[in-house]
Structure 1
């Protein structure tokens, strides 16, 4: 006669398996807890708050004319490139590139990652010829203002990838510097197409100085504040030219 070992009831097996999984998850959470976002830590959609000083906001900076003493007038962000030296902003922010400097992570009067002067500008011919709002996006190369040749801005703060061709209702995060603020503001919301070539977002308090602010979709640059009405004539509604094939080709030229 064959003697069979009694099997455990299915319910008991499931209970023990669940306990093991719970123990593993608890251990993993203990190890990674410092990196896990807190539930409810992000503001609701459509609410503008002061941006935290984190890795993402370090890649966003204010544009100044000559130096930080004169006040900032636009926003730009570092994007990935072969030379690790490219920023993105609105084309209308680079009317005087010879005197424009970029301060990534600028906050409360301090430029923790130094100042970077503009060394080259890439704009669409449609902007140069007639300031077409659909071409109000630009890329620029930068170099340390102090003349050091051993540093590139992307090596210092990192850079955002560029993601053209986003869906009409993509949710983006805008990070930018109003001229009246000494730290960046942040707002996330779903976007909509104002036209086939212009995207809009409803976010309060994005006033003058936020032109050129990155629109980040999943951590990638999907546009910059600008375009229609120079980005908007009221602080609660902002625009970006849709990043299509022309903008992507412009980025490729700048990124080398």
Structure 2
């Protein structure tokens, strides 16, 4: 018999407990926080402790669209509370292939967030490491914020290859609002730090049904985006 998984029953979502790991994931709000939350993002480890990761379609409209403004990242958001502060998004980094063609294989974005009261968002609990070229079959945990609820949900399962540029996972009940949710593998049970290898996004902007989700494959293109975000945060 397989030992109990920290992810719970594979493929079945549940309410995420308010753990350190869950605090690295947050809801993305419009209108400087006065609007509703519509996407999910997470803190990524970076030298300047101010980089977050989400789906490109959460922050840029793609072909014919434009960059979204007045966005707010709220890590650990739960039931109307912002226990770790509200962090304005100051700059986004999106692949030109998403901007020009809405290419689903590049539906990934990094963003820099402002320093608030002398603190950086990575000072809260640190960030997950960025993983790339890790292959198509991984056990991951996904945590995100449905737009219709005020608590995060989480689910763990194995990913599979959907195409050369896309991963696929079966996790029940991940509707609108969970776009940008991180796919985290190699999760340390003590530090709750893992390696993020995907986000809900990509094919059908993450999936046409709430029970099957997709992610762009994280390769060198995503690494280049991350390096750009790191350079930007240091200026």
- The TM-score normalised by the length of structure 2 is 0.88
Query: Aligned partners of 1:129 and 1:69: how far apart in 2?
Result: 30
> Among 216, 220, 228, which residue is 1:245 paired with?
220
Tell me, yes or no, if the aligned pair for 2:39 and 2:145 is still in contact at 8 Å.
yes
Name the residue aligned to 1:174. 142
Match of 1:188 in 2: 156
Looking at secondary structure, tell me which structure has more helix per residue: 1
SS at match of 1:212: coil
Deviation of 1:67 (Å)? 4.2
Task: Pick one of 64, 71, 74 that aligns with 1:100.
Answer: 71
Structure-2 separation of matches of 1:98 and 1:92? 13
Higher-Rg structure is 1
Aligned to 1:8: none
* C-alpha contact (below 8 Å) 1:97/1:118 kept by paired residues: no
**Length, aligned pairs only:** 216
Q: Does residue 9 of structure 2 align to residue 44 of structure 1?
A: yes
After superposition, what is the alpha-carbon deviation per residue over 1:214-233, rounded to whole angstroms, capped at 9, x for unaligned?
Answer: 00011111011100000001
Q: Return structure 1 stretches of 4+ with deviation > 3 angstroms.
A: 38-42
Aligned to 2:109: 138
- List alignment gaps of at least 5 residues for structure 2: 61-66, 187-193
Report deviation, 1:69. Answer: 4.1
1:4-153 paired onto structure 2 within 5 Å:
42-95=7-60, 96-144=67-115, 148=117, 150-153=118-121
Q: What TM-score do you get using the length of structure 1 for normalisation?
A: 0.81
Q: Distance in 1 between matches of 2:219 and 2:137?
A: 15
Q: Alpha carbon RMSD of aligned pairs, Å? A: 1.5
Q: How far 1:135 moved relative to its partner?
A: 0.4
Q: Following TM superposition, by how much is the alpha carbon of 1:181 offset from its aligned partner in structure 2, in angstroms?
A: 1.3
Displacement of 1:167:
2.2
Q: Say whether 1:157 aligns with 2:128.
A: no
Note closer, same or farther for the CA distance 1:223–1:39 as it changes in structure 2 (3 Å cut).
closer
Equivalent residue for 1:16? Answer: none
- Which structure carries more relative contact order (alpha carbon 8 Å, separation 6+)? 2
Unaligned runs of 5+ in 1: 1-37
CA apart distance, 1:85: 0.2
CA distance in 1, matches of 2:221, 2:197: 13
Q: Secondary structure at the match of 1:193?
A: strand
Distance 2:35 2:142 in 1: 24
Whole-Å Cα distance in 2 between the matches of residues 173 and 164 of structure 1?
16
What is the distance in 2 between the residues matched to 1:213 and 1:165?
19
Is 1:209 the counterpart of 2:174? The answer is no
